Amino acid sequence: MSRAMMWFRKDLRTLDNPAFWHAAQHDELCAVYVRSEMQWDRHDVSHAQRTFIQNNVKALHERLSGLQIPLLIVEATTFSHVPALLLKLAADLEVDGLFFNEEYELNEARLSDSVEAQFCGAGLAISRFHDQCLLTPGIVHTKAGTFPKSFTAFDRNGKALLRTRMRQLYPLPVAPSVNAIALKRVDYAVNIDSFEQFSDTHDYDTIRWPAGEDAAHVSLDEFITERVTDYPENRDFPGLDATSQVSAYLAVGVLSARQCWQAGEVLTGGENEGLLAWRRQLVWRDYFRHLLVERPDLCRHQPYKQEFTGLPWEDSPHLFDAWAQGKTGYPLVDAAMRQLNTEAWMHNRVRMVVAMFLCKHLRIDWRKGECYFSRHLIDIDLASNNGGWQWSASTGVDAAPYFRIFNPIRQSTRFDREGEFIRKYVPELADLDRDSIHQPNAEQALARGYPLPIVDHREAREKTLAMFEAFKHSL
Ligand SMILES: Cc1cc2nc3c(=O)[nH]c(=O)nc-3n(C[C@H](O)[C@H](O)[C@H](O)COP(=O)(O)OP(=O)(O)OC[C@H]3O[C@@H](n4cnc5c(N)ncnc54)[C@H](O)[C@@H]3O)c2cc1C
């Protein structure tokens, strides 16, 4: 009789979960989720994502109950307490081994190693699996055997590998016929019904992101059947409901990247242009994760391009606050920041616009923006967030060149032509026509209590170019 324990982390699902599937091949199985509020604080995890995780842990608990598998929830002060806690649980439940999926952020990867060290020291087995990416980090190379510095090369080489190395999805494992472990109790486990009491819960939109695997698959399938075909034409317009919005599910592992990739295969036959464009975004997600493994110092707030380490960013708390509150006087920037503050999510096009505005109009350090996003996004994900910010600040791998500076008004007339997105999030400008709404004049702004632009686009652009050029010459 063999007994296994599955440690759920950012893989809150039963389907296509490699560690869970392998753990479930044992005679008896229990599962654990370790919650650490202080670690969430240290990692600046948004309250929206914390609440989303909790709701999904509850959904997982229910689903596992249906398979007669108990999910125990235990609390750890920080990551450093997790290995001993898991070991105690393993001893109390008399399990032979622990199963879990890898996480690639620096602290999470170190945690995996120390859990392994403690279990091995105690003579217990550990089984670790790659789960989060389409392709295992480290296997996409250039011909010279190095990590591809351009996304185009990563995409080309990665897709070639995907044709041969994309594994089948793991099915739902068969429930153990007798699971005596389910009857065991530990007095330090948290009762699932009182789970939400432990954190300030966030009022995110539970209609848009209902908890649980079934709900996530409904969202995914709806996108693939109804919107993926038009994705290439519509994906850049924040006023349209044109993207999948599955990022929150992917970030906490309620959906796997492989399920997303293959959902399209089944529903469209894999040849649809829209599907190919959407899959390219999934490859971007992989790219930034592979990059974290290649350059773990990115988790320590270092720029990818080390020559940009000492860039003289400016410290302007009042400008940062205006940006954060959506009061810059640039309607598209303000609409986007208000979307983030009210909905815990932001459309990709405007993530780029506001990020570039912070770094290249206000010359504020990208790390401050990265942290603000982390504290507010429901889909916060270190790899993609860091990748997006470093792209915008020109410090990243395959980043926008430093002299590429989005004009926020041009972006607005191009991607929100009729001003629908602005009207929704900046209601004080809602009565302006499509010509004025992107750039209200002083009279229009003052009459509506809307701020005047906090910086002049042309002047800010010149100053930023001068900053980058002076810095480059000083090297
Ligand atoms: C400054 C900045 C910060 C960002 N922070 C995050 C973050 O914390 N978490 C996050 O998931 N994404 C982040 N992104 C990437 C992107 O904006 C979101 O993934 C996307 O907006 C999510 O919406 P969607 O699910 O509708 O995407 P879709 O357009 O439907 O794309 C499908 C999936 O592909 C992935 N994806 C799409 N675009 C990107 C991209 N540019 N980089 C990496 N993966 C991508 C996401 O997992 C997404 O769910 C950031 C981008 C920028 C510019």
pLDDT in tens, 143-177: 999 999 999 999 999 999 998 888 789 999 998 87
Q: To the nearest whole number, what is the mean pLDDT of the chain?
A: 95
Centre of ligand 1 to C-alpha 281, Å, is 8
pLDDT at 376: 98
The CA-based angle 271-217-55, given to 5 degrees, is 150
Candidate from 279, 281, 346, 360 with most ligand 1 atoms within 8 A of CB, to mutate? 281
CA nearest ligand 1 atom 12, residue = 384
Task: State the Cα–Cα distance between residues 202 and 45, nearest whole angstrom.
Answer: 12
CA 248 – ligand 1 centroid, Å: 9
Between the CA of 39 and the centroid of ligand 1 the distance, in Å, is 24
**Concatenated DSSP letters for 209-236?**
S-SSHHHHHHHHHHHHHHTGGGHHHHTT
What is the pLDDT at residue 313?
97
Lowest model confidence (mean pLDDT) among 189-193, 203-207, 387-391: 189-193
Ligand 1 atom closest to Cα of residue 248: 11
Question: What percent of the chain is predicted at pLDDT more than 70?
Answer: 99
Query: pLDDT at residue 199 above 70?
Result: no
Q: Is pLDDT larger for residue 103 or for residue 201?
A: 103
- Asked which of 8-17, 171-180, 192-201 is least confident by mean pLDDT, the reply is 192-201
Is the pLDDT score of 43 beyond 70?
yes
Distance 290 CA to ligand 1 centre (A): 15
Tell which residue, 183, 131, 191, 142, has the closest CA to residue 10: 131
The pLDDT assigned to 201 comes to 84
Half-sphere exposure of residue 16: CA atoms within 13 angstroms, side-chain side: 22
Whether ligand 1 lies within 6 angstroms of the CB of 389 is answered as yes
What pLDDT sits at residue 206? 93
pLDDT above 80 for 270: no
Cβ 250 under 6 angstroms from ligand 1: yes
- Answer whether 381 contacts ligand 1 (Cβ < 6 A): yes
Q: Reply yes or no on whether the pLDDT at 443 is more than 80.
A: yes
Please give the number of the atom of ligand 1 that sits closest to the Cα of 377.
Answer: 8
pLDDT of residue 457: 98
Task: Specify the higher pLDDT residue, 323 or 269.
Answer: 323
256 lines ligand 1 (CB under 6 A): no
pLDDT band at 1 (very low <50, low <70, confident <90, very high): confident
C-alpha to C-alpha distances, 183 to 8, 90, 228, 444, nearest whole angstrom: 20, 15, 46, 68
Length of the chain measured in residues: 475
| Ligand 1 near 251 CB (within 6 A) | yes
- The CA distance from 409 to 439, in Å, is 7
Query: What average pLDDT does the segment 428-432 reach?
Result: 98
What digits encode the pLDDT tens for the residues 280-319?
Answer: 999 999 999 999 999 999 999 999 999 999 999 999 999 9
pLDDT of amino acid 327: 98
Is-contact 474 463, C-beta < 8 A?
Answer: no
Measured distance CA(93)–CA(88) in Å, rounded = 8
Among the listed ranges 58-67, 199-208, 352-361, which one has the minimum average pLDDT value?
A: 199-208
Q: Which pLDDT score is estimated for 196?
A: 66
Question: Which helix (H) or strand (E) segment is 37 a member of?
Answer: helix 37-42
**Rg (the chain; Cα; Å):** 24
Which atom of ligand 1 has the smallest separation from the CA of 288?
43
Distances (CA, A) of 47 to 43, 201, 378, 448: 12, 6, 8, 32
Cβ–ligand 1 contact at 244 (below 6 Å): yes
* Cα 346 to ligand 1 centre (Å): 9
Q: What are phi and psi of 40, to 5 degrees?
A: -60, -40
Q: Which of 336, 372, 333 is nearest to 453 (CA)?
A: 333
Residue 203 has pLDDT above 80, yes or no: yes
Which atom belonging to ligand 1 lies closest to the Cα atom of 247? 49
- In the chain, the domains with their CATH numbers are 1-131 (3.40.50.620), 132-168+213-294 (1.25.40.80), 306-474 (1.10.579.10)
Best residue among 151, 384, 392 to mutate for probing ligand 1's pocket (most ligand atoms within 8 Å of CB) is: 384
